[in-house]
Amino acid sequence: MTITMADSQDAGIRPVQFLWLEITGKCQLECGHCYADSGPAGTHGRMRLPDWLRVIDEAARLGVRTVQFIGGEPTLHPDLPDLIPAAKRAGLAIEVFSNLVHITDELWDTFLRCDVGRRPPTTVTIPASTAPSPAGRRIPARAPTS
Ligand code: SF4
């Protein structure tokens, strides 16, 4: 079954906008404070590339705006260079939560090409009481009553 954003809105559910994808438990480091208990012996788990691609596609259709790839160290996952462009094609803003121990040239190129770390343009809402009119005057919040 595929769930769409319309389904969730019909059900009165506010769409999730931010998604963490914990794509690996592997890391070069073995920090004592690691929340995920990650380390060199960690694995990439059982999810395969098609599974992650489906998650990204469904998340975008459900209204997710931003995906953050986490781990472990997500740059150690061999499919990250495919997952990032997929998220970009799906219209998501992308973040990679990395320890920066080693980023390959291929990944740096992917980060740049897919605007990793850049936020989409923000919509700014200006209250009507302070918004300038086309003529440069301020527009009152509501019409004065006489
Ligand atoms: S994921 Fe982060 S906290 Fe955990 S071992 Fe790696 S660098 Fe340390």
Q: Report yes or no on 31 lying in a domain.
A: yes
C-alpha span between 136 and 45 (Å, rounded): 59
pTM of the model: 0.77
Q: Which domain holds residue 62?
A: 16-113
For residue 87, list its beta bridge partners: none
- How far away, in angstroms, is 68 Cα from ligand 1 center? 15
Q: 42 CB less than 6 Å from ligand 1?
A: no
- Number of domains present in the structure of the chain: 1
Q: How much is the average pLDDT of 74-92?
A: 98
Does 118 map to a domain? Answer: no
* Res 7 pLDDT > 90: no
For residues 5 and 82, give the distance between their C-alpha atoms in angstroms, rounded to a whole number.
25
The residue whose C-alpha atom lies closest to atom 1 belonging to ligand 1 is 72
Element (H, E) at 19: strand 18-22
- Give the Cα separation of 114 and 71 in Å (integer): 20
Residue 66 belongs to a domain:
yes
Chain segment 28-42, per-residue pLDDT in tens: 999 999 999 999 999
Lowest mean pLDDT among 17-21, 29-33, 123-127, 138-142: 138-142
Question: Does ligand 1 have an atom closer than 6 angstroms to the CB of 31?
Answer: yes
* CA 30 to ligand 1: nearest atom: 5
Which residue from 71, 24, 27 is spatially nearest to 45, judged by alpha carbons? Answer: 24
Query: Looking at residue 85, which CATH number applies to its domain?
Result: 3.30.750.210
Quick: pLDDT tens for 38-56: 999 999 999 999 999 999 9
Amino acid at 144: P
Is residue 97 situated within a structural domain? yes
CA 36/CA 48 separation, integer angstroms:
20
**65 lies in a domain?**
yes
Ligand 1 mean position, distance from CA 102 (Å): 13
pLDDT of res. 92:
97
